[in-house]
Amino acid sequence: MLYNGIMLHRHLTHQQFTLAAIDDVIARGRRDDWAALRQAALADRAVMEKVLRVCQAHSADLYAQRYHFWKQYAERHLT
């Protein structure tokens, strides 16, 4: 759902990146949503670890390309 051009994520409250919110951003987010997640993940290692955790849950699905992208991104920044 869009609100003033910004996607509202069903699990994103108070701009906290919970596991459910991260999953929603990756699955349904637009470029600006991904940029906000990237910025938060680069600023806070705990968020980056959550991104990796969410993506690992989808790693068996060969067609979950968004999750594979973010998994690679998180792994590179956590090493």
> Over the stretch 57-70, which tens digit does the pLDDT of each residue have?
999 999 999 999 99
The reply to whether 58 falls in a domain is: yes
Helix (H, G, I), strand (E, B) or coil at 21: helix
In a domain, 69, yes or no: yes
Number of domains in the chain: 1
pTM for the full model? 0.82
Determine the structural domain holding residue 55 and report its residue range: 45-79
Q: Is residue 18 part of a domain?
A: no
Kindly state whether residue 73 falls inside one of the protein's structural domains: yes
Inside any domain, residue 16: no
Instruction: Confirm whether 55 is domain-assigned.
Output: yes
C-alpha 45/C-alpha 58 separation (Å) is 21
For residue 5, what are the CA distances in angstroms to 30, 33, 43? 11, 11, 25
Q: Is residue 56 assigned to a domain?
A: yes
Percentage with pLDDT > 70 across the chain:
81
pLDDT at residue 35 tops 90: yes
Residue 16 binned pLDDT confidence (cut-offs 50, 70, 90): confident
- pLDDT of amino acid 65: 97
> Does residue 2 surpass a pLDDT of 70?
no
Type of residue found at 60? A
